[in-house]
Structure 1
C-alpha cells in the first residue's frame, strides 16, 4: 500500500512539475544541489559528498568561479528515504534553481529520482549510489549521469577477485532486500556464470535484521568458500556475527556498502573483509590526494584519514564538481539542457581517474564516468579500511 501511495504521488505530481513555466525553469542559478543521508546510520555518506563538493567549489571559486559567477553548494537530508529524495529533487530544481543535482548514498533514492529528474529536465550526476538501472534507465534523452561505481561493473570486479581466491569455485551472495540489493542480483548471477563458477547460495535479508544465522548455515552447508556482500555496515556486521556463531569463515568480498564503519561495529570480525572502492585516503597518497587531505584537515578539523568514513564519496564528488564546472563552461550558460549536452565530451584529469572523456554520447554505458580499471580493492585491518596491497592480506591476492 505504501508503494502504491508513493507511485500515485509521483504520477499526481508530474503535471505540476511539467506545468511550471519554461521561463522559470530556464532561470538556473550557479548552485549545485544534493539530496543525501545527513541523518541516520549512513550519515557519513552525506558528509563525504559535502566535503568533496565544497572543497572543489572552493578551488573553482578561488580562480574566479564559472562564467564569472561563484558556485555554491546546497544539500538536503533524505535519510535514505526515496520519497524525501523525490521532494528534495523538486526543491533543488524549483526553489533553489540549481543547475545540477548530485546523487547521494542510497540506490533506492537514486532510482526514485529518475522520474522527477526527467520530468523537470535537470541534469543528475550521481557520486555514490551504484545501482545499474538508476543510470541505465531507458530514457532518451537521459539526464542521469554518474561519477561513481556501477553495480554491473562492480559485480564483475568482485567475481574476478572471488575467482582468484576460491578453491572450490563455489560462491555465496548475501544481498539486502532493497532496490540496490535486488538490482545487483542479476549482475552477480551473470558475472558468476561468465567466470565459470557456481553461485550456490543467494541469501537475502532486510534492513535492521539482527540474526542472519539461517542464511549463514545455508551458505556454509552449500560449500561456498567465498561470500559476496551487497550490504550496508549495520547488516554486514550482523552477517559476520552470525557466520562466526556457526563457525563459517569464508573469504568475504563486498560492494562498498560495508566501507563506512564496519570495522567499528564488528571489531576483529571485520579483519580481512575486502571491499571495492574508487578511492582511499588511507595509506600512501599521491600528491593530489595529499593536497586534498590537507584541505580536508584545514576545513573540517579532521586529524586522521580514518575519520573519513566514505573516502570514495569524497573523491567522486570532488571530481564530479570539476566535470560539471567544465560542462557549464562548455555550455556557455547556466541552463539545464545545455549543461546536459555539455557533459558529453568533457575531459578532466581527476583524483580518481583521467576522464577522457567523462561521458560519451555514443555509448549508453558511458553515462558512467569511472571505469572498472579505476576500481581499487581495500581491506578492513585493525579497524581501518586500507589498500589491500599495504596489508598482510595483499600477499594472498
Structure 2
C-alpha cells in the first residue's frame, strides 16, 4: 500500500514537471517497467493475473541477458481499482522510479484517469486489461497510451455479432454497470447494433454492490429479449443471474470479460452457458508455447490446475506486452520515453495471444490497440470452469 503522506509530497513536487512538455521531461530512464494494477479488492484476481504474466516475461528476458545489456526490474504498485491511486502510481513510476514504461490494469475508470498524467509526463503506457475505448483513443497528440488487450469498440462488434446469431427473435438487451467502463460501452454497443440493422429493445443499468436486479431483468424480459449482453463484473453478474432465476427469465447471456473471473464460483449452476469474450485462456488443449508458460506459472505460483488462473487473458496480455516493450527498447537503442514510444510503432512480434504485425500503427488512430478482433475468443462457463466454447455443449450448432 502506498503511504498517503509520501504520495501527497510526490504529487506536490511533480506539478511543475507536469506543466512541461513531454519532450522537455525526457531523459535516459531506468531499466524498469512499472505496473499499476488492483491486487487487492473484489477484482484482485485480475491484477494478480496481469502481475503473473509480467513477472514471468521479465524473468525470462533477464535469464536471456536482459535488454540492451541490462536486467529489467519490475516495479509493482496496487491501485485497488481506485482512480486517484492509479494517478499517484503513474506519477511515482514515472518521476520517482523513472521507469521506461508503465503497464495498466483491470479497471477502466483507472485507465481513463491515468491518460492525462501519462500524456503530460510523456511516459509510454501499455494497458493490459482495461478495455474502455476512450482510455486509449483520448485525442492526445502525441498519444502515449497504448494497449495490448481488448477494446470495447471492437468487443461490442464481436458480441453483437454473436448475439444476432444466437437470437431467434432478433431482440437483444444490454445490462451494464454504472461506471466509466459500463457507460463507455453503451455508445459502442448501440453503434454495433445499428451497423447490424437493429436496435436494443432494453437498456438497463445498475450500480456496484446492487443486490437485486429484478426490475431491470423484468423489463428486458417483457421487451422480448432472448439474448442479453452483460457489461458487468462477476459480483454483479452473479446478482443478475439470481434475479433472472427468481423471475423465471432464461435468455442467452453473452458478456464482456468482466464476468470471466469467478462467476462460476459465485453463481454455481446458474452460470452454466454464460458466454464470455477472452483474448487468451489456459483451459482446454495447450500448444507448446502455452504449455511452457503454464509450467512456469505452476512452478512459480504453486498452481496445480489451469482453472486456478482467474482471468487468463490478463496473464497472456501482460506477457505479450512486456515482450513488445522489450522489442521497442531494443529498436530505440535506449531507455528513453520518446524513443521507445516511436519504436512501438515499428515492433513486429509473434506473441502467445496474437501475431503483432505490427503491434501498433501510427497512421491509424484506432491502432494504438494491438490485439485485433480476429484474435478474440468466445468461452462459456460450465460447472465452474470457463472453457473454450467449442468444448462445451453451448458451442454446438443449433
TM more than 0.5: yes
Distance 1:21 1:393, change over 3 A: closer
Query: 2: CA distance between counterparts of 1:217 and 1:376?
Result: 30
Partner of 1:122: 123
> Could you tell me the TM-score, scaled by structure 2's length?
0.95
Partner of 1:347: 348
Checking the alignment, whether the CA contact within 8 Å between 1:236 and 1:262 is kept in structure 2 is yes
Query: 2: CA distance between counterparts of 1:304 and 1:346?
Result: 34
The question of 1:310 aligning with 2:295 is answered no
Matches within 5 A, 1:274-313: 274-313=275-314
Gap regions ≥5 residues in structure 2 = 1-10
Distance 1:125 1:326, change over 3 A: same
Checking the alignment, whether the CA contact within 8 Å between 1:30 and 1:99 is kept in structure 2 is yes
Query: 2: CA distance between counterparts of 1:18 and 1:35?
Result: 23
Query: 1: CA distance between counterparts of 2:12 and 2:201?
Result: 41
Query: 1: CA distance between counterparts of 2:236 and 2:316?
Result: 25
Distance 1:312 1:336, change over 3 A: same
Partner of 1:267: 268
Partner of 1:218: 219
Matches within 5 A, 1:360-379: 360-379=361-380
CA RMSD of aligned residues (A): 1.8
Checking the alignment, whether the CA contact within 8 Å between 2:22 and 2:120 is kept in structure 1 is no
Q: Name the SS of the counterpart of 1:275 in structure 2.
A: strand
Matches within 5 A, 1:1-397: 14-18=15-19, 25-396=26-397
Query: 1: CA distance between counterparts of 2:355 and 2:22?
Result: 39
Q: Name the SS of the counterpart of 2:200 in structure 1.
A: strand
Q: Name the SS of the counterpart of 1:396 in structure 2.
A: coil
Q: Name the SS of the counterpart of 1:217 in structure 2.
A: helix
Checking the alignment, whether the CA contact within 8 Å between 2:22 and 2:119 is kept in structure 1 is no
Checking the alignment, whether the CA contact within 8 Å between 2:26 and 2:338 is kept in structure 1 is no
Number of aligned positions between the proteins:
389
Query: 1: CA distance between counterparts of 2:151 and 2:335?
Result: 28
Query: 2: CA distance between counterparts of 1:80 and 1:347?
Result: 32
> Could you tell me the TM-score, scaled by structure 1's length?
0.95
Q: Name the SS of the counterpart of 2:221 in structure 1.
A: helix
Gap regions ≥5 residues in structure 1 = 1-9
- Runs of 4+ in structure 1 over 2 Å off: 10-25
* 1:114-162: CA deviation from partner (whole Å, max 9, x where unpaired): 1100111000000000000000011111100000000000000000000
